[in-house]
Amino acid sequence: MLDQAGTKEEIQKHQDEDFGGFVGWPADEAESIAAWGDILDVCASAVVPATTTAAEAKAAFEAAAVGMSTPLTGGAVFVAACNAYVAALMAGMTGYAQLVTPVFTALDFTDASLNADGVTAADAADFQAGKMVARFQTGQVQLIAPPNTVVSLT
């Protein structure tokens, strides 16, 4: 199952100074890439159907994310890297054919309402985790053997 609670905690480790497990803000792009790779891994660690390509998915994200801290274009690079992660992850769902690959957008990671007074870093992490899980759940695969069941990612 996709892990929303674990994803929220992993986000908080890197973005919420009030979180007991806060490890610090990423110091540079390499640390930020590593942190987001870990966040994606936690989210999809027990995805159903199971995948055999989790390590490849993380490597695909890390390779595609270089440049994500560049002003103006960094957001698009980050979103493309998340999509590279999903594509590699789904490629390892042995016995299934991909029907719908989730496509992340910038709106899966931010929202103007997160800038409102009273919104905490924990609230923002919960929002991001929920949006990530919801995006993964848009993915569908089909069993390649009868009864050829269509399955949404969970």
Does pTM surpass 0.85? yes
Q: So what's the pLDDT on residue 114?
A: 83
Q: So what's the pLDDT on residue 143?
A: 95
Q: So what's the pLDDT on residue 115?
A: 82
pLDDT in 10s for each residue of the chain, 154 residues:
899 999 999 999 999 999 999 999 999 999 999 999 999 999 999 999 999 999 999 999 999 999 999 988 999 999 999 999 999 999 999 999 999 999 999 888 888 888 888 999 999 999 999 999 999 999 999 999 999 999 999 9
Q: 3-state DSSP: the chain helix, strand, coil percent, rounded to 5?
A: 50, 10, 40
Q: So what's the pLDDT on residue 150?
A: 96
What is the sign of the dihedral through the CA atoms of 111, 114, 127 and 66?
A: positive
